[in-house]
């Protein structure tokens, strides 16, 4: 694909014995005697027979058109493009795309300089084209109308001149041209083409639209058009826009307008309200470090962030912020113990977890492995310190937590990998690659990729057997694991510490409990659903779930297995699931 001086080969797929057809585009090297229609036809053929994706073809053709505009199109490049725009509607589906293509190419070309004679003739012809489009004589997209007005810098006096040439003199004048434009703009507003309408109001300096126009754009969520029009109208309308955003609790939009147009004095409180709203959303997602950075060390915002941490019961974050920024006057924070929080969040006692074990040495690692080899089902999860720097690599997985029905073991992967990598590899292989232990995870295949990336020297994280991803079973779209727990068990998980510093040692008690909950809740969800599942004919309970169809393995594909081995593995899956559900 291309417009350079060479033939484009078109293979004849129906009859390969015939000679290859060609389209000759050598004429693009000299446009002196090439008409707009021939030019567009060749452009269409290049597009149709190009092998790239549509976006790539568009960019390549735009570059080629930009280059060929230097090859003496007659009577001049700008006028030639307008003639092409007149002809393009006959090309049907290609009209809109090619219109944007050649106008964009011309815009680039005109930055290098223009021929005064060509510019004058092109402006007159472009004005006439604009009138013909508005009157319905030529069919073009509204966005092309705006581009034509901008590229050729058409003003009200150009409209008057064009109307004068096609009507009686006593019918034309400044009022007639302005009335014509206002009528067209009104039609655009009626059809809710707000951005096009605003572009025309700005292009022709028409300031008659009122506040109701602004409210209409906001109600129809055309915020970009509303911002553009208010900026054009001036400070008074910008203040109206900001107040509308504030009244609708759209604080980010309001703050953006304030910063862009230097309105801090007019709205001194909006900045902090916007920032507080942003901090609250980040805190709800557990992104405390990002929220802290967003304060820019503003004391008022830091105190607000401390209050958010206090409300969430994040005592270590309160102490950390108070120490780092010398904030005083905050009482010692305790984890909230109010009844409404118990209704919202699960705790370890509700899941019948008896003990949390921290594993960072060989004996603990071996004991944990022996414990899990005696289990039929376990929940698995892992955590790592978040990295908020764009383009940087994610941090190493810090801990892996594995839970049985009553015990949780939290493995310090960083220390174990440094001290006893070989034993860690063996123990984790015995757990993760065991065909007799059902491993429950939530989007855990992504965690396994992260583990393999963090500890590439180990074999244990490259393969796994009998993994049941709870996310794929229930396909809960909102709320993640917490939302699923609330749906199945009646209460969600407190995700406050999700993005905390998992590389600090020792971890806080709250972090340990958070990690333990994430693994143990998977086991509890599985057992609960198994014990409450009913056949389709029985009312009440959960629908019977075909668990085994969701169990996945990722083993070495180079090792070919016999049909007998594959059949045996399927039977083992079914037997394990049946046994787990019956025992629950």
Alpha helices, H only, 113-193:
116-134, 142-151, 156-166, 174-190
Each as own residue / partner, the long-range contacts of residues 138-141 (CB below 8 Å, 24 or more positions apart, any chain) are 138/86, 138/89, 139/89, 139/95, 140/85, 140/88, 140/89, 140/95, 140/96, 140/99, 141/96, 141/99
Q: Measure the CA–CA gap between 378 and 373, rounded to whole angstroms.
A: 10
Half-sphere exposure of 376 (CA within 13 A, CB side): 15
How much of the chain, in percent, has pLDDT values that exceed 70?
Answer: 83
Mean predicted confidence (pLDDT) in 566-573: 55
> For residue 448, which of 427, 469, 472, 430 has the smallest C-alpha distance?
469
409 has pLDDT over 50: yes
pLDDT given for residue 2 in this prediction: 42
Tell me the pLDDT tens digit for each residue of 87-104: 999 998 889 999 999 999
469 has pLDDT over 70: yes
By CB neighbour count within 10 A (0-12 exposed, 13-18 middle, 19+ buried), where does 79 fall?
buried
Task: Grade residue 468 by pLDDT with cuts at 50, 70 and 90.
Answer: very high
Tell me the pLDDT tens digit for each residue of 503-522: 999 998 989 999 999 999 99
Measure the CA angle with vertex 78, ends 77 and 83; round to 5°.
Answer: 95
pLDDT given for residue 1 in this prediction: 40
Q: Measure the CA–CA gap between 160 and 137, rounded to whole angstroms.
A: 19
> For residue 119, which of 80, 91, 176, 170 has the smallest C-alpha distance?
80
Largest CA distance in the chain: 102
Tell me the pLDDT tens digit for each residue of 341-357: 444 688 888 898 999 99
Give buried/exposed letters for 108-136 (b at 16+ CB in 10 A, else e). Answer: ebbeeeeeeebbebbbbbbbbbbbbbbee
By CB neighbour count within 10 A (0-12 exposed, 13-18 middle, 19+ buried), where does 336 fall?
middle
| Structural contact between residues 153 and 114, judged by C-beta atoms closer than 8 angstroms | no
Tell me the DSSP string of 40-61.
HHHHHHHHHT--S-HHHHHHHH
Tell me the pLDDT tens digit for each residue of 299-326: 989 999 999 988 887 888 888 899 889 8
pLDDT given for residue 55 in this prediction: 83
126 has pLDDT over 90: yes
Q: What is the mean pLDDT of the chain?
A: 83
Delineate the domains of the chain, giving CATH numbers in brackets. 7-154 (no CATH), 270-336 (no CATH), 342-583 (3.30.420.10)
* DSSP letter, residue 4: S
Task: Grade residue 476 by pLDDT with cuts at 50, 70 and 90.
Answer: low
Specify the range with the lowest mean pLDDT, choosing from 75-79, 147-151, 156-160, 173-177. 173-177
- 22-36, 272-286, 526-540: which has the highest mean pLDDT? 272-286
pLDDT given for residue 494 in this prediction: 83
- Write the CB contacts of 47 (distance below 8 Å, at least 6 apart in sequence): 1, 57, 61, 94, 98
Mean predicted confidence (pLDDT) in 253-279: 89
Q: Helix or strand or coil: residue 411? A: strand
Q: Give me Rg for the CA atoms of the chain.
A: 34
pLDDT given for residue 568 in this prediction: 56
Specify the range with the lowest mean pLDDT, choosing from 42-46, 219-223, 224-228, 530-534. 530-534
Helical (H) or strand (E) element with 316: helix 315-325
Tell me the pLDDT tens digit for each residue of 160-217: 888 877 664 445 556 788 888 989 999 999 999 999 999 999 998 888 667 889 999 9
Query: How many secondary structure helices (H) and strands (E) does the chain include?
Result: 26, 11
């Amino acid at each position: 694909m291309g417009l350079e001086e060479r033939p484009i080969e078109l293979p004849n797929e129906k009859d390969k014995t015939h000679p290859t057809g060609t389209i000759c585009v050598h004429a693009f090297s000299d446009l002196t005697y090439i008409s707009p229609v021939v030019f567009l036809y060749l452009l269409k053929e290049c597009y149709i027979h190009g092998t790239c994706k549509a976006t790539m073809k568009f960019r390549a053709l735009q570059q080629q058109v930009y280059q060929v505009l230097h090859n003496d199109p007659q009577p001049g490049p700008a006028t030639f493009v307008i003639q092409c725009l007149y002809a393009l509607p006959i090309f049907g589906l290609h009209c809109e795309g090619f219109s944007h293509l050649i106008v964009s190419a011309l815009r680039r070309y005109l930055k290098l300089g223009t021929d005064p004679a060509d510019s004058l003739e092109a402006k007159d012809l472009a004005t006439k084209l604009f009138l013909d489009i508005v009157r319905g004589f030529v069919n073009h997209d509204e966005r092309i109308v705006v581009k034509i007005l901008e590229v050729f810098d058409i003003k009200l006096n150009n409209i008057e001149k064009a109307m004068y040439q096609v009507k009686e003199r006593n019918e034309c004048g400044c009022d007639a041209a302005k009335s014509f434009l206002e009528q067209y703009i009104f039609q655009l507003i009626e059809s809710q083409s707000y951005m096009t309408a605003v572009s025309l109001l700005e292009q022709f300096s028409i300031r008659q639209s009122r506040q109701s126009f602004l409210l209409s754009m906001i109600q129809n969520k055309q915020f970009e058009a509303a911002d553009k029009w208010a900026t054009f109208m001036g400070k008074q309308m910008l203040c109206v826009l900001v107040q509308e955003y504030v009244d609708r609790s759209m604080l980010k939009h309001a703050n953006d307008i304030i910063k862009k147009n230097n309105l801090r004095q007019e709205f001194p409180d909006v900045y902090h309200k916007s920032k507080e709203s942003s901090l609250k959303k980040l805190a709800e997602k557990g992104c405390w470090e990002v929220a802290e950075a967003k304060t820019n060390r503003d004391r008022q915002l830091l105190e607000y962030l401390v209050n958010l941490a206090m409300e969430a019961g994040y005592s270590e974050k309160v102490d950390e912020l108070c120490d780092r920024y010398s904030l005083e006057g905050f009482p010692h924070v305790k984890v909230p113990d109010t009844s409404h929080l118990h209704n919202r969040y699960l705790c370890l006692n509700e899941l019948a977890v008896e003990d949390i074990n921290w594993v960072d040495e060989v004996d603990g690692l071996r004991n944990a492995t022996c414990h899990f080899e005696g289990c039929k089902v376990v929940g698995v999860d892992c955590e790592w310190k978040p990295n908020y720097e764009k383009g940087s690599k994610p941090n190493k997985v810090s801990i892996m937590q594995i839970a049985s029905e009553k015990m949780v073991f939290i493995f310090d992967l960083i220390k174990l990998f440094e001290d006893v990598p070989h034993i860690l590899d063996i123990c984790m292989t015995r757990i993760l690659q065991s065909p007799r232990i059902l491993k429950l995870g939530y989007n855990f295949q992504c965690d396994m990729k992260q583990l393999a990336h963090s500890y590439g020297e180990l074999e244990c994280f490259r393969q796994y057997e009998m993994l049941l991803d709870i996310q794929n079973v229930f396909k809960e779209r909102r709320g993640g694991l917490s939302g699923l727990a609330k749906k199945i068990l009646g209460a969600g998980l407190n995700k406050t510490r999700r993005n905390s510093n998992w590389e600090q040692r020792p971890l806080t008690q709250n972090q340990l409990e958070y990690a333990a909950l994430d693994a143990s809740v998977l086991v509890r969800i599985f057992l609960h659903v198994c014990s409450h599942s009913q056949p389709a004919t029985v009312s009440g309970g959960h629908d019977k779930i075909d668990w085994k169809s969701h169990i996945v393995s990722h083993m070495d594909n180079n090792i070919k297995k016999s049909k007998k081995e594959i059949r045996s593995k399927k039977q083992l899956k079914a037997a394990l699931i049946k046994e787990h559900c019956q025992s629950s």
